[in-house]
Amino acid sequence: LQEQNFERVGGSTRVQVNVRVISSTTRDLQAEVAAGRFREDLFYRLNVVPLTVPALADRREDIR
């Protein structure tokens, strides 16, 4: 993510990319980082614009 390039599995050349990443989880990633189960550097790269969405069970009016 930081270098904006990657190497394909089994490949030998680097590929330049310009991407945006959207990710989601049901886990508390800050707690996972603190417990050593999630990489801190990856957390800070992904956690640029955090968005918390309540579960559908908590907002039944959104279901039609």
Per residue in 32-51, pLDDT (tens digit) is 999 999 999 999 999 999 98
**pLDDT score, position 58:** 92
**pLDDT score, position 1:** 77
In the chain, where the domains are located: 25-50
Its pTM stands at 0.67
Model confidence at 2: pLDDT above 90: no
Model confidence at 7, in pLDDT bands (50, 70, 90)?
very high
| Chain mean position to CA 62 | 25
Residue type, 26: T
In percent, the amount of the chain with pLDDT more than 90 equals 70
